[in-house]
Structure 1
Amino acid sequence: MKRSELPYLDDLRAFEATARNGSVRAAADELSLTHAAVSRRVARVSETVGAKLFRKVGRGLVLTPAGESLRDACRRSFDDLLRTITSIRNAEGTSDHAVLLSCERSVAMRWLIPRLSRFQDAHPDVKVHLSVGGGAIEVQGNGAFLALRRLDFALDDGWTYQPLFPERVGPVMVDGMRARFEAGDYVALVTKTRPDAWDRWLVANPDAPRPRDRLGMDHHFLMAEAACSGLGVGLSPYVIAADDVAGNRLVAPFGFSPDGSDYGLVYRAGAALSEEAQCLADWIRSTCKPLGNRSD
């Protein structure tokens, strides 16, 4: 096979993102592409390789042996490219010493971004590049890197973390829906990222009213907006709904109870944080304290 016959880099990126996320939809969100575009790119890779790369299991995708081999090769190649490009940038003095902060999409939109200007005002010399993402941590070059994650997955050996606050969830709604909620005449808003969250919460709260119907949402930030609009009752993490509850846009009649997981600040193991990254990490820990101290 000639080099000219290799798949396009964009097609390989779509394949690797799909393999890592186990979903074309999740890969499309990550790459800011449509579902159809990612599917086409993955299909082109499969055609070029001459082998089936995925098989469907339920609603998800599982790699075939050929797909696993190609995924591993892509990861090695992409990691090598990142290291090489970062090394060149640093050698040429083009690094801006910014801190790359990766944060889950809903947490970024509903909690972090409304507060980030306070950090920038207090530390104007520290540049922060914000990236949204969830789950397993990708290699992010050699620069300063932090990730704010709900730690419901195993960390690779190259990463370590500091716990920040426990994950606590509870039903939230506009105050005008409280009577309907107590009567069981409400729609439960369900997110695709945690499809069984309501079932687990109802088991843990057997005296709580059961919903008459359910409505799916892609992400928690959409669920929170839907709850604020009176569309239904969301089962929300406290970090997502904290500002709306504090501002009386939402009420939480059952409070928020721990689900057994924690949020943490993830960074490279065995390497000291840069001055800029340490400054940002200290600010995040301080800003997170109310999330861990509240006793709803």
Structure 2
Amino acid sequence: MIERVSLNSLKFFYYVARYDSVTIAAEKLFVTQGAVSKQLKNLEEALGRRLFIRDGKKLQLTGDGLTLFDCCEQVFPQIDQCLVQMTREKKNEKKTLILSCEPTIAMKWLIPHLVQFKLRYPEIDISLLTAGGEADFKALNIDLALRRNDFEWGKAIYSEKMADEHMVCVSRHKHLAPMSQLFISSSRPKLWTQFKDTYKAQFKHFEKVALEHFYLCIEACLAGLGATVVSAYMVEKELDFQMLDMLTPIVQDGSAYYLLSASPFEDDLHKVIFKDWLIEEMRTSQTKLMALSAQKH
């Protein structure tokens, strides 16, 4: 069967399915939108199956499309890694990537997971800077920045989605007394409204307390002072070791984490390695967290 299907068409399909957009796929592949559409048509004709449902400008994967995308999502990153390994100029060359990351996600999730990255890629050092919002790549000599898409970073910045954001309300005690404190980070003030509207019965008696950073909210919870609404990634260890308990299921908040670069990722093989590793690592954490949520709720 593989000899009847163009691998180029599969690559074009993978990019369109990944970004839900012919336009973005064309930009990533440095071709025209017409070229992408033609490759999709050729692939559907070769397979004799519809892969997308077209609704105006929107594309939605069919059941067959989802099946093929799941397969491509496993194969193409592996090929990418293989090519990266084969095309390294110097196998043992040391490389330092300067990464900017929001403080709490860096402290509570990224740093613990970087141990695994170092074991797998000892030739790449990660120098970590903590900051949020717009990243000044030139002034700070930053290679990469991990950010949520809660601001506009501009068309000049290259971006790749790492994972959807997932939020949860946690506390040290499963059952809290009436008028307990609910700690909210002032960096995401809308969280209070979102969760209060979703879980009215549970939240109506909470007293809202704003703290500057998520890590302060987490420490307040660990001290038994109340509850907090945080990114599930930030409390992965605490949930895993039962240091904190979930008061609500883990839910998506509509935002996502993106890796940003001032130049194309493909221009630096070390950036590609880190990008692919980060996607894999965040996906693993997400799977574990959702399994914990399903057990609790």
Q: Which residues of structure 2 form unaligned runs of 5+?
A: 1-93
Partner of 1:122: 120
Amino acid at match of 1:132: T
Q: Where do 1:208-223 residues align within 5 Å?
A: 208-223=202-217
- Paired with 2:209 and 2:118, the residues of 1 have a C-alpha distance of 38
Q: Does the alignment pair 1:253 with 2:247?
A: yes
- CA spacing shift, 1:191–1:143, aligned 2, 3 Å: closer
Q: SS where residue 163 of structure 2 aligns?
A: strand
* TM-score, normalised relative to structure 2: 0.61
- Which residue identity does 1:214 align to in structure 2? K
Instruction: Give the aligned residue type for 1:168.
Output: H
Preserved contact between residue 189 and residue 234 of structure 1 (Cα < 8 Å): yes
Counting only pairs closer than 5 Å after superposition, residues 59-138 of structure 1 correspond to structure 2 as: 97-138=95-136
> How far apart in 1 are the matches of 2:178 and 2:162?
35
**1:166 touches 1:261 (CA, 8 Å); kept in 2?**
yes
Structure 1 residue matching 2:235: 3-state secondary structure: helix
Classify the secondary structure of the residue corresponding to 2:261: strand
Q: Distance in 2 between matches of 1:108 and 1:281?
A: 15
Task: Give the Cα separation in 1 of the matches to 2:96 and 2:114.
Answer: 15
Choose which of 201, 214, 221 in structure 2 pairs with 1:207: 201
Shift of 1:203: 0.7
Show the 5 A alignment for 1:1-296. 97-140=95-138, 145-174=143-172, 177-180=173-176, 184-270=178-264, 272-293=266-287, 294-295=289-290, 296=293
**AA aligned opposite 2:278:** I
Separation in 2 of the partners of 1:143 and 1:97?
14
The alpha carbon displacement at 1:143 in A equals 6.5
Residues 141-181 of structure 1: per-residue CA shift (max 9 Å, x gap): 6967111111111121211211111112121001xx3222x
1:179 & 1:212 partners in 2: Cα distance?
12
Give the letter for the 2:274 counterpart: L
Cα distance 1:290–1:207, how it changes in 2: closer, same or farther (>3 A)? Answer: farther
**Partner SS state of residue 147, structure 2:** strand
* Contiguous gaps of at least 5 residues in structure 1: 1-95
Distance 2:211 2:247 in 1: 22
- The answer on whether the counterparts of 2:100 and 2:142 sit within 8 Å (CA) in structure 1 is no
Deviations 1:204-224 (A, max 9, x none): 222323244222211001111
> Structure 1 pair 252/273, CA: closer, same or farther in 2 (3 Å)?
farther
CA contact (8 A) 1:186 1:211 kept: yes
Cα offset, 1:269, TM superposition: 4.6
SS of the residue 2:216 aligns to: helix
Return the alpha-carbon distance in structure 1 between the equivalents of residues 140 and 204 of structure 2: 50
Q: Please give the alpha-carbon distance, in whole angstroms, between the structure 2 residues aligned to 1:199 and 1:214.
A: 11
What SS does the corresponding residue of 1:157 show, helix, strand or coil?
A: coil
- Check 1:144–1:105 CA distance in 2 against 1; reply closer, same or farther (3 A cut): closer
- Verify the 8 A CA contact 2:265 2:272 in the aligned structure 1: no
Question: What letter matches 1:264 in structure 2?
Answer: Y
